[in-house]
Amino acid sequence: MRRIYHYNNPRNVGSLPKNDMDVGTGLVGAPACGDVMKLQIRVDKDTNTISEVKFKTFGCGSAIASSSYLTELVRGMSLEDAGRIKNTEIAKELCLPPVKLHCSMLAEDAIKSAIKDYQTKSNRGPPTLGKNL
Query: Which position among 13, 30, 33, 36 bears the catalytic label?
Result: 33
Name the residues that contact ligand FES, by CB under 6 A.
Answer: 1-4, 30, 32-33, 35, 59-60, 62-63, 95, 100, 102-103, 106
Cα gap 45→24, rounded to integer Å: 12
Supply the minimum distance, in Å, between the C-beta of residue 27 and ligand FES. 14
- Give phi and psi for 5, each to the nearest 5: -60, -45
In the complex with ligand FES, which residue's Cβ is closer, 37 or 53? Answer: 37
What single DSSP character describes residue 45?
A: T
Nearest to 23 by CA among 39, 11, 34: 39
Cα gap 88→129, rounded to integer Å: 41
Asked about 33 being catalytic, the answer comes back as: yes
In the complex with ligand FES, which residue's Cβ is closer, 34 or 126? Answer: 34
Query: Which position among 41, 90, 103, 110 bears the catalytic label?
Result: 103
| Residue positions annotated with a catalytic role | 33, 103
